[in-house]
Each structure stands twice: as C-alpha cells, then as structure tokens.
Amino acid sequence: MKLLRFGPKGQEKPGLLDADGNVRDLSGVLVDITPQTLSPQGLVALRALDPATLPVVKSPGRLGVPFTGLGKFLAVGLNYSDHAAEAGLDAPSEPVLFTKWENCLNGPNDPVVLPKNAVKGDWEVELGFVIGKTARYVPIEDALDYVAGYCLVNDVSEREYQIERGGTWDKGKGFDTFGPVGPWLVTTDEIGDPQQLGLWLDVNGVRRQTGHTSKMIFSVAYLVHYMSQFATLKPGDLVTTGTPPGVGLGQKPPVFLKPGDVMHLGIDGLGEQTQEVRAYDTRWLD
C-alpha cells in the first residue's frame, strides 16, 4: 500500500494511492494515519479494504507528511562509503546517529525555508523507514519485521550550523521545513529488499546525486538492530538512513542553496518530491 495524507497544512485527510494512481479517501475509515494505523494489526485491517470501494479524490491538492504522531525523527550520517569519501572522512565503524527535530517535518512539495543568515544550505536525498512495532534489543535477523514501511526524505541541512558552530550536528538539521517526507509511506510488502533501490536528486534541473541503497555501509536491518540497543524504537518513529555522494558541500567548488532554487528528488518505488527554496519568512512556516 501507498499511504498518504492530503489537504491544507493542519487539515490533512488520510488516503491511499491505488494501483491506477488515483488518490482514495480513507477518512470514512480512519480519522488519520497514526502510529496505531502502522502497527501490524492496523496494516492488516487496511489491507482488507478494497480500494475500489473508497471515494476517489479528483483534486487532492497539497500532500502532507504521510503519517502523523511521529515520536522520534532519527538520522544516520556518513552511511554511504562514497559520500564519506567526498567529505574527506573515513567510513565509520559504527553508525553515526543524530536527530532531526519534529518541527522540521514538511510536506514533500512544500517550500524549504532557509534560516535567517543561512549561508550553506544543502540537500540530501535519503531512504527513510518507519517503525511499526516496539523494538528493543532486536536481533538483526528479525529486524525488518519491525518496519512498517519506507518513504523518501530530503535531509535538508545548513552546513555552517552543522559543522562550524560547535556541538552536535543536530542544530544544522532541525530548522523548520528541513525534513520533507513523502509523497507516500510505502508498506514493506511493496518494496521487498530495501537495499536494492536507486535514488537521485536534481537542483535546478542539474543532476547532483545518483546513488543506490546497495552502497549503504549499514543496512536498514542493521540500523534497526543497532539503534534498538540504545533506545526503544516505537511505532511512528522515523529513521532516515544517510545520503549518497553529490551533496552541495561535496561539489568542487561547493554549491549551496539559495532562494529560488528548486530541488527535485526520488527513490525507486517511493515517489518523487519537488521543493522551491525560499528566504526566511514566517508566512511559509505558519
């Protein structure tokens, strides 16, 4: 299933994308797509529905983040060997973990707003996965059983804040709009092996990133296993798994985002996103 939410910000309705590419309205069945919806029991109930019995949404308009009720937004750095190399860093021996704050969540095609005085805004196309049941000390051989589905994420970053201003990476990762997610949450039965997905990103029509999840240093299964040693993962937790080479910081010379730039990105089977970059203005945030 491809689950989604459509409508104005703060007024989204639940839906799904049927086999013919039509958006079907789930609001007669669900109040919203929540962590409970993404539990094994919740997904079994949704799979029992016949999409043809649900109303077609002829003009869905804006798409929001494809689920609500997020608990943690966790992220993995330097998880592609070729990206670590472009950053001039050794491949990590254990996953590099950081957080993106909940306020950064953004619809897949909503504008990305640069912070005041930002000078090094950057892009990162990434595979995200969402937890479907409580995970604690999970054996690696069982790890994918804890994943409800996969989604496309743009891990937008401000490199000066991330790298040059001390402390952890988090301050360069969590600004409002820095976490576009969607267009859909695709359940695991439609994806199969998450380590066999191509991903790409263009800026202003120029291909900047081309990658493949087979190049991830730490697989989705390993990340679920590893993270569950340090924190209890719960339904609705989102993990974004790192980016392939081609980020702005890695260009020669570096290229950073400016107002008016357009990012277009996608992952096999998970859809595409498009974001226009805008200067700081609260009307794009509220």
Residue 282 has pLDDT above 90, yes or no: no
Distance CA 241, CA 129 (A): 8
DSSP 150: E
Write down the pLDDT at residue 284: 74
Residue 285: pLDDT band (50, 70, 90) is: confident
Residue 169 has pLDDT above 80, yes or no: yes
Residue 181 has pLDDT above 90, yes or no: yes
Return the sign of the alpha-carbon dihedral for residues 223, 66, 275, 117: negative
Q: Which has more pLDDT, 254 or 90? A: 254
Greatest distance between any 2 Cα atoms in the chain: 54
Residue 168 has pLDDT above 90, yes or no: no
Q: What is the mean pLDDT of residues 209-238?
A: 97
Residue 83 has pLDDT above 80, yes or no: no
Distance CA 45, CA 282 (A): 40
- Boundaries of every domain in the chain: 69-284
Q: What is the mean pLDDT of residues 26-53?
A: 97
Q: Which has more pLDDT, 85 or 60? A: 60
Helix (H) / strand (E) element for 45: namely helix 40-47
Q: Which has more pLDDT, 210 or 91? A: 210
Write down the pLDDT at residue 88: 76
pLDDT in tens, 67-78: 999 999 999 999
Number of Cβ within a 10 Å radius of residue 68: 17
Question: Domain spanning 69-284: which CATH class is it, in words?
Answer: alpha beta
Write down the pLDDT at residue 186: 98
Cis peptide before 183 (omega within 30 of 0): yes
Q: Are 172 and 157 in contact (CB under 8 A)?
A: yes
Angle, CA 54 vertex, CA 48 and CA 59 arms, to 5°: 140
Residue 86 has pLDDT above 80, yes or no: no
DSSP 34: -
Write down the pLDDT at residue 90: 81
pLDDT in tens, 109-154: 999 999 998 999 999 999 999 999 999 999 999 999 999 999 999 9
Amino acid occupying residue 264: H
Residue 262: pLDDT band (50, 70, 90) is: very high
